[in-house]
A and B are shown apart, each in its own frame.
Chain A
Amino acid sequence: MTEAKRNTEINQRLANLFESNVHLLEDGAAGFMNAARKPAIEAFRKQGIPDFKTENYKYTDLSKVFASENHRRVFTYEDINVNLRELFQCDVPELDTNLVMMTNGWYYSGNEQLTELPKGVVVTSLRKAAVEHPELVEKYYGKMADPEKDPLTALNTAFAQDGVFIYVPRSVVVEKPIQIIDLMRGGEDTYATQRNLVIAEENSQVKVIFCDHTLDPQDYMVNNLTEAHVGENAVVDFYNLQNQHNKAVNLNGLYIRQERNSNVLTNTLSLHGGIVRNNLNVLIDGEHAEANLFGLALTDKSQHVDNFTFVEHAHPDCQSNQLFKNVLDDKSTGGFTGRIHVGRGAHGTLAYQRNNNVLLSGTAKMNTKPQLVIDNDDVKCSHGATVGRIDEEALFYLKSRGIAEREARLMLMYAFAHEVLQEVRVDKLGERIDELVNKRLRGEVSKCHSCVMDCES
């Protein structure tokens, strides 16, 4: 089959899937969510499924991924007769979080009321919030993620039914991080769509941890999109721990809009997954705001992790820092595209970007591409990308002190990863991630079904 024909078939299949299930999609969902569907599927039809010829998806050919899937869709909430909390233990005392669980993209009905949240803070199902508090949700829903500009965003918007909704009112500080455990489960190959919205109002602070997991060995695909509004002077962290299995496809989108004086940190840790694509978009929409984007991917076998970032500097005197690292073994592959746009009025911009990669085998492959578009003279921008091997001189140095080859290699890999790992602003979480990465590098966690806080098993 030619590529064009294959792509047409995928596009048709997904459009048909939409047409024949639109009544299910619309059933019980808020009017504004439903109103966005048809334009979104149109936007998808126009763009089509991206393949290697699509500039933004050059390193992750999604047409191949979608051509081979015929997964079950989850258009209604499926009740679970087991307690997810028991099935998925995550009660390590050192990491105290406000925890909610998602199952195949839906807000788990067994989630308990979070009693320790500060007054006015809402953590609930997006579906429910959209119906019960439309005035709050509608103002932001679909405002940051534009279906016209990205086919995965278009698909997500067309098929979105549920996800997590987080609202932090003005000047409220949520000290205990909010942890969302995304679980893919079920005895069949399954495709899920999850849509999240985070609103952090002026001068508020919140840390959000998304943990992506699989509970069963089936093939899973998830299109998980988060929109985040970060108000003036707000401080918001997003951690994403991707710990699925080698047959899982994780298509992940994060859209952030920052107002003035706000501070955002994202840290995307891809530890396990078959095909992982992270689209990280930050619009700096006010002066003196700061965005920090970090990412670490550890891949082996035939895993693939592709990070795509787009930082838009639209206002003066803002700063962005990006640091992404991949450690690739076996036949695994990786991609990094880092786009920075400094607008005409964004004078005094500081924008830094670095992508460092280590290939542990002769067959691993990494593609990296910085894209800086600067429409302004008064800026400081830098970017750097390296693809290399373990430093043989450093290895010899360690060995010459009595440290055996394997241990010495691990020390160097861990040291390489550590630069990203230290960028975690949650006490204990950093330590736990350190441990997990250490274990992952030692090959002690080959398929971790449990979450980072409970990986001893």
Chain B
Amino acid sequence: MANYSTNEFKPGLKVMLDGDPCAILENEFVKPGKGQAFNRVKVRNLKNGRVNERTFKSGESLEGADVMDREMEYLYSDGEFWHFMATDGSFEQVGADEKAVSDAKNWLKEQVIYQVTLYNGAPIIVTPPNFVELEVVETDPGVRGDTSGGGTKPAKLMTGAVVKVPLFINIGDVLKVDTRTSDYVGRA
């Protein structure tokens, strides 16, 4: 991979830092009137998602990271790996381990398209779409006629996720859920 100098640290650039692939979020030029210039950089570690602040002497460089985001369809899980297939017609498949799917695990549904971040060709993060539609498999019986809102109750979805839903929701209902907040949005 190419090397990138501090002045090329634009948001979105993927670089290697402490052996992990990281994405640049912000880059600020800091220079006292007298003295060394620095670049204060905010990065997200793509393996653990943590955001860190790092500072470099201006002009230092980092190796680029072989990181790629691909749209992939979820196929199935064999218990150890979660399998995805490319949607670009190549039918290429990858298996993501539990760590890579940890953020998406509650929202994995077959035939839905996910963003899979590949590092050196291997999946490191699976990001769900902002909204998914999932069926309710477990909840207290619905209160008929109560569509006005007010109270909520827990409902377990087909993926195992538990979300708060209005009282009128029944088993078998398909719900639209915001994956970023785990909020119920509405009936699909």
Partners in one complex: no
- Give the B-binding residues of A (Cβ under 8 A): none
- Give the A-binding residues of B (Cβ under 8 A): none
